[in-house]
């Protein structure tokens, strides 16, 4: 099965030191080498987000994320795994999960 691991960050993650940051980035990169990890991306911060809605055929743009919350979607992995246990085991190794954030594991609709 395929899963998306949606990585949610918390405000405290923004305040970590440079040393800590580089070690955390290293961890994220190392996860790409895990079997089954098909893809993954880190997103720029929510302050760079633009939200688009269409009303009466007209695109309306607004500054900021769709859901304006303390927690933010910071990136994702796309994972091929045998079952939910395998997917959650990898999710538990995503640094955000132990740093006040969380990883939401969502099965992908396969057609």
DSSP 68: -
Binding mask 26-65 for other proteins (x = CB under 8 A): ----------------------------------------
Stretch that binds other proteins, among 16-24, 53-61, 62-70, 84-92 (CB under 8 A): 84-92
Q: Which of 4, 7, 13, 87 binds other proteins (CB under 8 A)?
A: 87
Minimal distance, residue 69 CB to other proteins, in Å: 23
Strand order in the sheet with 72-80: 37-42, 72-80, 2-9, 102-107
- Nearer to other proteins (CB atom), residue 15 or residue 85: 85
* 31 neighbors 40 (Cβ within 8 angstroms): yes
Q: Which of 5, 79, 81, 103 binds other proteins (CB under 8 A)?
A: 81
């Amino acid at each position: 099965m395929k899963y998306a691991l949606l990585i949610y960050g918390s405000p405290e993650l923004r305040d970590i030191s440079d040393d800590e940051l580089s070690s955390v980035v290293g961890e994220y990169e190392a996860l790409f080498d895990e079997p089954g990890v098909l893809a993954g991306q880190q997103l720029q911060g929510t302050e760079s987000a633009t939200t688009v809605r269409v009303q009466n055929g007209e695109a309306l743009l607004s500054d900021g994320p769709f859901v304006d919350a303390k927690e933010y979607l910071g990136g994702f992995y796309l994972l091929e795994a045998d079952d939910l246990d395998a997917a959650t085991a990898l999710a538990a190794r995503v640094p955000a999960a132990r740093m006040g954030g969380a990883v939401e594991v969502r099965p992908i609709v396969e057609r």
